[in-house]
Structure 1
Amino acid sequence: MEHIALYRAWRPQSFQDMVGQQHIIQTLQNAIREQRISHAYLFSGPRGTGKTSAAKILAKAVNCERGPSTEPCNECEACLRITSGAVMDVQEIDAASNRGVEEIRDLREKVKYAPTEVRHKVYIIDEVHMLTTEAFNALLKTLEEPPPHVMFILATTEPHRLPATIISRCQRFDFRRVSLEEQTERLAMICKEEEITAELEALQYIARLSDGGMRDALSILDQVSSFTGGQVTYSQTLDMTGGLPAEQFGKLAQFLLQGEVGEVLQTVEQFMQEGKSADKSMENLLYYFRDLLLIKMVPNAEHMTDRVLDPSSFKGMAEAFSREQLFYIIDTLNRYQSEMKYAAQPQTLFEVALLKLCSLPKGAGEPASEAGGGAAVSSSELTAMKRQIAELEQKLEKALKNGGIAAANPNSAAPARSNRPSAPRSSGVAKIPPHMDQYIAEKDSAEFTEISRKWSQILQRVKEVKVTVHAWFVDGEPVSVLNDAILVAFKNNIHRETTEKPANKQVIESVLEQMVGRPLRLVTMLQKDWLAAIEGSSDLKKEEEFTLEMEQVDGKKEPWIDEALELFGEKLVIIKE
């Protein structure tokens, strides 16, 4: 006898067979009982939740020879023929392959004729969102005012793609994902009827993988039972589906907490040897730490996720991490997961992300009270900081003695002059590049002007080479060119630091060489420091010009002053600063 796939063999044939959609079933049964059946229904929801099955059951219920009744008998000729698809008055149309206006016009012509085999003509249009705009327009009038013997049932997984005019003409029912408990119970019942021996943990894991779709769960069960010869175990299910047990993630989390770099790398290598993909492992690990955070912060959180099969094991691990650590871990993994989409070697990024978490000091991310307050700073770091402060004090004292920094004397008639450095003070976040005065001098050079004109093309080329680098680099703006270096000022320090990473910097310098025609080094700084540098240079220049002018006035070296003295005499000429 030919094998029939489980999801086909166990497709619901009556409302009572449906799983997890009680709110819809009850409404439809009440409408049939009270003879308030609508002319058009819209069934929307995720795949495998029973939309098309409910449509066919409804078609049988309104056309059953013993009805209309709240449940089709599935014994009369009408019910049996509708189930087998042999009734011409009940048509299931695939909108994905019949999406044009001509098909809908043909349907509109056939709607006019009365049914010949059953009471009501029923048109079930599956994946209705695939219809073209013209097809929707052709359907509008018929959908609003069909003949009394016609019923339309539209099914879709993407209701947002339907025109509002179509939705407003239908009674809408939203199918929800089937819960873990309901799916597990249904799978256990099917296993019993099919004489399949299955562990409860395996059925729970299958239900978890299906993401709320009953059809997907039955397909996975069918596949695993074929592989195991009807003996479905948890370990074999993991092997077949490429999943990872929570115990392995628990061990990995423990290694991260203890900073065991070797064990972490060995665990990742084991995942890869077992055929697990790096991106799927990263996704599962993110879910694992998300569940740890939920269990740590929310009482009875095991009911908020379908992934927690053993809450006791999760609670023990959740207590080992602080909330701040879990937040940091999730943030780091999420950032690296987004980069893995564009990476040629995703496994390397997965390993780097885990190694970064291993290198965290114990208690990183905790508040001072948890981490021990001032004890978080090691004695060696404290000694180094004291030594740096002492060196700075010595340099300052030496500069004062040499007259490098002169204090203003309020009793002195002459204006105090200070030998300002041309470079501004550092912001404390980003270092100031050397030769700032030369960069400022070259900011209006012809070479820099030429590069500025090409900057939009340079950014576009960086985007074509690597879009993630462009996302950070676009925050920067070129401000000067000096010899073999281009200076780029950034508004945000995080963008500047990420751009400075060797891999990202190499991409940018390679593009610069292509676009400019010669090698250029990338030098970065913050935009606010660049503006402060320009302002400081301008102030110094004004001060020097003013001092020179005063010296010339005091020495009577200006020719126009000498001329005024000769014309009017010393008594009539007053020289003001």
Structure 2
Amino acid sequence: MPKTGLIWLAIPDDSAYNCLSILTTAYGFIVRVINDSKGGSEMSYQALYRVWRPQRFDEIVGQSIITQTLKNAILTKQISHAYLFTGPRGTGKTSAAKIFAKAVNCHYLEDGEPCNKCETCRAINEGSLSDVIEIDAASNNGVEEIRDIRDKVKYAPTKADYKVYIIDEVHMLSTGAFNALLKTLEEPPANVIFILATTEPHKIPATIISRTQKFDFKRIRPEDILERMAYILKQKNIEYDDKALKLIAKAAEGGMRDALSILDQAMSYGDDKVTYENALQVTGSVTNELLTTYVEQVIKKDTKNALITVQKVLDNGKDASRFVEDLTSYCQDILLYQQDPQIVEQLELGMVDDKFKALSDQISDEEIYQIINELNEIANSLRYTAHPDVYLQVLTVKITHLKQLEDVSTTTSVDNADENGKIKMLTDKVNELQREIEQLKKSGPADEASQSQQMVKPKPIEAKSGNARVELAKIYPILGRATRQSLNEFQEVWPDLMNALSVTQRAVMHVSKPVAASPDGVIVSFEYPIFFQKAQANRELCDALENNLDRIAGKAPKIVFVPDNQWPKIRKDYLASHKDELKGKQNTDPKSQETPTEDEKIDPDSNDPKPIVKKAEELFGKDILDIKND
């Protein structure tokens, strides 16, 4: 018998294995069976996301800007040597890479689109073209694999015009592999194109990113996912429920592949019919009606019925984490609906009912904030527990016993009224004093003693600094080396520093100013203690100030905050406590030991500054000092 060949055997299915056993035992052949019977076990069904994978740029959903840019680059022959496709899973990165590989090698382009009919396009679709190499970096992440690419990349393509390397999940490459790839990306052959795809671009070295054209694939809008799923089901003549597709589109979280996978499950579960109940079972979601009922019970402080609702969710086999996610999303929709109903109509694809609208009028935003905070804490705890029902029950009891916000808001209103009354009283007092000063100026000179007795000096307002504490241990070292020159430098760059902050950070810092500075530190004063407290507690703000100062001024000084109403006392206490030290510095100064000339002698009755005054002028400048003789 020949060593190789094709043998056709027309035998019954029940005798097939006996015949194969005889052939294998007698001749030691490796036998491959091609089952041509209609009742064979060959798997012919393919998942929806594979069957309906885009084959043209126009079929990629929700990425029109990227696809149009790529088509224009092909039409104008402005093809780069390396591309980086980034974005969430299932948004079309690998599909776009394969379509691009077809388009640059297709000789029958149609408005920048591959024809999908020529030999090259068909070979790429089948995965049989040797010039288009797809590599999974998750399993080929070593230096040797990349070196192999580097060695083979110098050879010209065998059939196509361009040799295209598609490296998926490129962030999985090791540091050595990235270094091996770097030189090839920097100086590649003219007929080679690299397309790198990743879901985590932050893990890719900047040296790699700078040598590629970067395209950010965004999450696909639920409306676009809904439209694509409806098109596919119509092509397959499958019945579906609109609410089911909307639920699946929302559960996909911006991924087209995830949406088609869920749709596939729903079709299998419903025997080629997609219903809302099937979609709920497949996604594990909770109905909007049940969520509305639960939130209503929470608002009414009906703990008993809320616990019954939670138990009903668990009895239906719903996942506790999914219930918390759905509830968080529901609260978010209420909050957004109170601000702009149109936004929620778009996000929920028109699934907003009258109960939801009524509920948004009954609950306050403060209550929603508290509920969302509790949901976030429970969501973190559910990851590490084997008893999710306990956590859901605790959550229910907790959010149905939240502090009555009406009382809080009433108390806040009273406090605000008291504060407004104090401010108004002080404003009236200041206006009264200004009128008295104007009258005194008009009446001419008078007895200063009587005027001083008549003038009532208002007591300074002592602002409370709350829990924030002034850090004298950090302030004094800065004052010890402070100079007016350093303060001037920081005052000059202060407006630029404020512009570099975010809007929320700028809102806190808009009532601040630098009041003293040394080469390695700056003291910032706040006009209102409440902003001093916020800045003191905001570590992110301090880091932003120091980083931006480093970028703008070329130095990263230590920044210390003080309330404006306490700054004069801090300054005075420092000068008083370091008086001897300042005098000692003056005495040890070599210039002070020299015999003064007649012009340099200090008259005891003159107004020449003393050493401590000189130091104060160096620290704070002459313009803000008020010198009084004891």
User: What TM-score do you get using the length of structure 1 for normalisation?
Assistant: 0.62
Q: Decide which of 57, 68, 90 is 2:132's aligned counterpart.
A: 90
Q: Is 1:118 aligned with 2:160?
A: yes
CA distance in 1, matches of 2:118, 2:398: 67
Contact 1:32 1:68 in 2 (8 A): no
Aligned position for 1:128 = 170
Deviations 1:315-356 (A, max 9, x none): 211111122222222222223333333444232121112112
Q: Which runs of 5+ in 2 are unaligned?
A: 1-42, 416-466, 468-630
CA distance in 1, matches of 2:374, 2:135: 47
Q: Is 1:242 aligned with 2:242?
A: no
Aligned position for 2:192 = 150
Amino acid at match of 1:93: I
Aligned position for 2:228 = 186
Q: Decide which of 338, 342, 352 is 1:310's aligned counterpart.
A: 352
Q: Is 1:293 aligned with 2:361?
A: no
User: Cα RMSD between the aligned structures?
Assistant: 2.2
Q: Decide which of 70, 81, 86 is 1:39's aligned counterpart.
A: 81
Q: Is 1:61 aligned with 2:96?
A: no
Contact 1:325 1:365 in 2 (8 A): no
Per-residue deviation at 1:279? Answer: 2.3
Amino acid at match of 2:152: K
Contact 1:62 1:68 in 2 (8 A): no
CA distance in 2, matches of 1:20, 1:97: 30
Which 10-residue stretch deviates more, 341-350 or 79-88?
A: 341-350
Per-residue deviation at 1:229? Answer: 1.3
Per-residue deviation at 1:201? Answer: 1.1
Aligned position for 2:93 = 51
Deviations 1:276-308 (A, max 9, x none): 122221222122112111111335331574587
Q: Which runs of 5+ in 1 are unaligned?
A: 374-428, 430-577
Closer, same or farther: CA 205–275 of 1 in aligned 2, 3 Å: same
Alignment of 1:253-272 (within 5 A): 253-272=295-314
Closer, same or farther: CA 243–143 of 1 in aligned 2, 3 Å: same
Q: Is 1:219 aligned with 2:238?
A: no
Q: Is 1:196 aligned with 2:238?
A: yes
Identity over aligned pairs, percent: 49
CA distance in 1, matches of 2:260, 2:250: 12
CA distance in 2, matches of 1:155, 1:365: 55
Closer, same or farther: CA 344–230 of 1 in aligned 2, 3 Å: closer
Q: Decide which of 250, 255, 258 is 1:208's aligned counterpart.
A: 250
CA distance in 2, matches of 1:372, 1:315: 31
Q: Is 1:21 aligned with 2:58?
A: no
Aligned position for 1:140 = 182
Per-residue deviation at 1:309? Answer: 2.5
Deviations 1:64-88 (A, max 9, x none): 1324960000000100001111110
Runs of 4+ off more than 3 Å: 303-308, 339-344, 360-366, 369-373
Closer, same or farther: CA 120–302 of 1 in aligned 2, 3 Å: same
How many matched pairs? 374
Contact 1:126 1:154 in 2 (8 A): yes
Contact 2:345 2:351 in 1 (8 A): no
Contact 1:120 1:149 in 2 (8 A): yes
The DSSP-based 3-state class of the residue aligned with 1:275 is coil
Aligned position for 1:460 = none
Q: Decide which of 269, 274, 286 is 1:232's aligned counterpart.
A: 274
Contact 1:328 1:365 in 2 (8 A): no
Closer, same or farther: CA 324–24 of 1 in aligned 2, 3 Å: same
Per-residue deviation at 1:227? Answer: 1.1
The DSSP-based 3-state class of the residue aligned with 2:307 is helix
Q: Decide which of 278, 284, 305 is 2:326's aligned counterpart.
A: 284
Which 10-residue stretch deviates more, 325-334 or 52-61?
A: 325-334
The DSSP-based 3-state class of the residue aligned with 1:153 is strand
CA distance in 2, matches of 1:344, 1:12: 42
Per-residue deviation at 1:261? Answer: 2.0
Contact 1:332 1:353 in 2 (8 A): yes
Alignment of 1:365-444 (within 5 A): 367-368=409-410
